[in-house]
A and B are shown apart, each in its own frame.
Chain A
Amino acid sequence: MTTLEAVTIIRAKFGDLISEPTEFRGEVSLTVSDSEKIADICQFAKSIGFNYLVDISSVDNYGTDPRWSVVYLLRAIVNGAEIRLKTEVSEEKSELPSVVGVWRTANWHEREIYDLMGIRFRDHPDLRRILMWEGYPYHPLRKDFPLAGKPTDLPGVAFTRITPMAGGPFVTVAGGNDSIAREPRVRVPDDEEVELNARIEARGDNKEMRGQAFGPGPIEKKSL
């Protein structure tokens, strides 16, 4: 089944939803007028042989409505036929049905589009940021976002979920008076959620020990 045959079959099934095919440099594109139906069309395309999703790209048509274009590039591995499906979404809606149920590779593609462009995907199993950190407030690939970025808060902890480590993170304190004060020791961070180890719990006065150093050696009673 060649690309043009596939185009005919798809148009026969979905009728007015699919535009006339356009060809540029040997590649055939179809525009889908109703973005809600894109998952059904992709499912149908997979059933007729397009079992490989090459790429999902998003384009920001800044200044025109609808603002987002999402481009799906499909391929039939068995004979190499390729087809491009394009759909458009307006900025108020910014939502598309997810095609994770059709090709599992779409999972990360859609997460990336959500992260960088801000388009949400309904029924996505795990829609969270993938390239920027959780809690980053902007969608950087939008045209109205400056290249150099805007000031944000870096995540306070190195990891998005606190890794339980018995006794707390063993880190040095750069500003201590001498090298003994700077040695890596058990330090209890100010965060309430970190598990305390048995030694600190046994002391019973851990609220006052927050932010101070423990372990062998003199206890520093300074606050950090």
Chain B
Amino acid sequence: MQAQTEHTEFGYNSKIEGDVVLTTVDAALAWFRKNSVWPMPMGLACCAIELMAAGASRFDISRFGSEVMRFSPRQSDCMIVAGTVSYKMAASLRRIWDQMPEPRWCIAMGACASTGGMYRSYAVLQGVDNIVPVDIYISGCPPRPEAVLDALMKIQDKIGKQPVLQDTVIAKALHFHGTGTPAGEEVSP
């Protein structure tokens, strides 16, 4: 792995991962980040059961790095809202989202979390994107565990494209010029 240009390869073997050659620190750090997304399961209703099934042996979410379902928001990366969000629950849900440190992502799992689902009633929040910014929506009522894994893979793609070090003290010390986009914003591929 010789690096003669101004970009350096860090611990990446194209023979194992594929023919895509990543050549920046950002990309390597993003690779570490995306393969250890620890979900915060906001399991509210029936989708939580399919989320548990995704974590169990048959579908096994841990082979994607999401082994630990961290119920503590302080230690998690991705909040998976699985189930119907009622107005009464919305305040607690927002509070837990606030307690998650950045970088954080949100998956709205199922029809109820995405848009309120089949519950168009006085007590149901019509989509969790009214209170938290959602990255991926999964359709289904409930979505199959395979769909949850697909969403996780999409989140991993999204994370892989996000710059990690930019405008920070470390980046400046290493004389890196990042892409200039702050973390969490849409990065067009």
Contacts and interface: CB of A to CB of B under 8 A. Distances in A.
A171 interface: yes
B88 A179 contact: no
A132 B123 contact: yes
A62 interface: no
Contact of B100 (A131, A132, A145, A172): A172
Interface string B88-103: 1011101100111110
B85 to A, nearest CB: 12
Interface string B137-175: 000000000000000000000000000000100000000
Given A132-B123, A140-B122, A148-B121, A172 B99 contact: yes
Nearest to B121: A147
A149 B98 contact: no
Contacts of A149: 121-123
Interface string A162-192: 0000000111101000110011100000000
B7 interface: no
Interface in A106-153: 131-133, 138, 140, 145-150
Contacts of A131: 123
Contacts of B100: 172
Interface residues of A, number: 27
A80 interface: no
A146 B122 contact: yes
A18 B95 CA distance: 53
A157 B183 CA distance: 29
A113 B123 CA distance: 16
Contact of A148 (B87, B92, B99, B120): B120
Contact of A172 (B88, B98, B121): B98
Contact of B88 (A133, A156, A157): A133
A155 B91 contact: yes
A185 to B, nearest CB: 11
Nearest to B90: A154
Interface in B37-69: none
A183 B74 CA distance: 11
A184 B120 contact: no
Nearest to B100: A172
Interface in B91-131: 91-92, 94-95, 98-102, 120-123
Given A132-B88, A133-B87, A158-B91, A150 B122 contact: yes
Nearest to A145: B122
A184 B121 contact: no
Contact of A171 (B87, B98, B122, B167): B98
A182 B182 CA distance: 13
A146 B90 CA distance: 21
B133 to A, nearest CB: 9
Contacts of B88: 132-133, 155
Interface of A: 131-133, 138, 140, 145-150, 154-159, 169-172, 174, 178-179, 182-184
Shortest beta-carbon contacts, A-B, top 6: A149-B122, A171-B98, A158-B91, A158-B92, A158-B95, A133-B88
11 contacts: A131-B123, A140-B123, A146-B122, A148-B121, A149-B123, A150-B122, A157-B91, A158-B94, A172-B99, A172-B101, A172-B102
